[in-house]
Amino acid sequence: MREALTRTDPEIARLIASEERRQAQKIRLIPSENYVSQAVLEATGTVLTNKYSEGYPGKRYYEGQQFIDAIESLAIERAKKLFSAEHANVQSYSGSPANLAVYLAFLKPGDTVMGMALPAGGHLTHGWSVSITGKFFKSVAYGVRKETGRVDFDEVRALAREHRPKLIWCGGTAIPRTIDFPAFAGIAKEVGAVLVADIAHIAGLVAGGAHPSPVGHAEVVTTTTHKTLRGPRGGMILCNAPHASAIDKAVFPGLQGGPHNHTTAAIAVALSEAATDPFRNYAAQVVANARALAEELTARGYDLVSGGTDNHLLLVDLTRQAIAGKPAAQALDRAGLVLNYNTVPFDPRKPFDPSGIRLGTPAVTSRGMKESEMRQIGRWLDEAIQAAKRNDPSTLDQILGAVGEMTRAFPAPGLDSIAP
């Protein structure tokens, strides 16, 4: 399939082939990763990458847009229909640029913004200090209750009343529970702030009916188009009609030049797939799988932040296991179980050597795995972590072999032809 690439650059071709084998043979549990369909892969790798298209459908700065306009218009209409949104912008290069466009649309440097603190599960772009959003704007962070691991709405309301932010973010990168969009909307309305829901992690669950939608509560919704939505790596902004012009101007010409048309086409394909009954079944199974995995880990003595999960994601505090997140994640990778180390709320350890691990079920569910496989994965996770504690690489290698048997039984979408 890649004859020209192999001839021109065999080194890159070899590395891509190796990555294909890795994705096919290992159990991928990073909650922000997934498998796209063969159709999405094909749309991404097309001649659309050759075309410049600065502007929007019907209002371009280059000629030859007859087919590009049709493709982008399809993506826009499919996004609006799928999420019941009044307006959609599908040009953002990814989630972080989409979030930055929201700042540009509504704020001036120095204005106040509120978002969930990064150590509590928020995202860098919600005003955290190391991000441009925390350097150019006055940032106020809210967190979670130590006893429950859930958002402390009393704190959110008190901070909003005290600081009167112009923008409030809800959503994040390590939130295992349902986001209470109506509660956030009530607080934002009380202080006159624009509420922005970042659903990058849960967009597919929202589209599939497995998580409540922020549309109708948040004036603006941002998301990536990969993760649970199973599209290409891109970004998207939904908003109500009064904000449409400000959002579009912030994306182009405010932040970007020409959109990536091959990505736009693949987004359109993914949105079409997400509007089907099989995708709704997929979204429900993602949640069912996460709960089954949570139950298995809890039964084995693991502490889950907030006590469990309502969505695709689990955040596990390994303090009781007497191992840090980073060495645990490295050992699990050797055993064929790929996840990431992660801070947990009120973590006494440093971000590069935290107490927790973060894992999720989008990719394994795309392979067709269900609750019984999740329970087995939970057993392997525990066995590998115990092996890491006693410096037992042979057990890790044994688990890797068993993982290979499972992955051969559940071929990965788009990688069905990869040899075991």
Catalytic positions, please? 52, 54, 198, 224, 227, 233
Q: What whole-number distance in Å separates Cα of residue 334 and Cα of residue 201?
A: 26
At 91, the amino acid letter reads: Q
Residue 409 burial class via C-beta count within 10 angstroms: exposed 0-12, middle 13-18, buried 19 and up: exposed
Q: What whole-number distance in Å separates Cα of residue 343 and Cα of residue 333?
A: 18
Task: Give CA angle at 338 (381, 222), nearest 5°.
Answer: 120
Segment holding 170, helix H or strand E:
strand 167-170
Q: What whole-number distance in Å separates Cα of residue 367 and Cα of residue 364?
A: 5
Identify the CA nearest to 131 among candidates 105, 156, 99, 106: 99
Tell me how far CA of residue 258 lies from CA of 50, 60, 141, 263, 406, in angstroms.
11, 10, 34, 12, 43
Task: Give CA angle at 395 (389, 400), nearest 5°.
Answer: 115
At 416, the amino acid letter reads: D
Q: What whole-number distance in Å separates Cα of residue 52 and Cα of residue 68?
A: 9
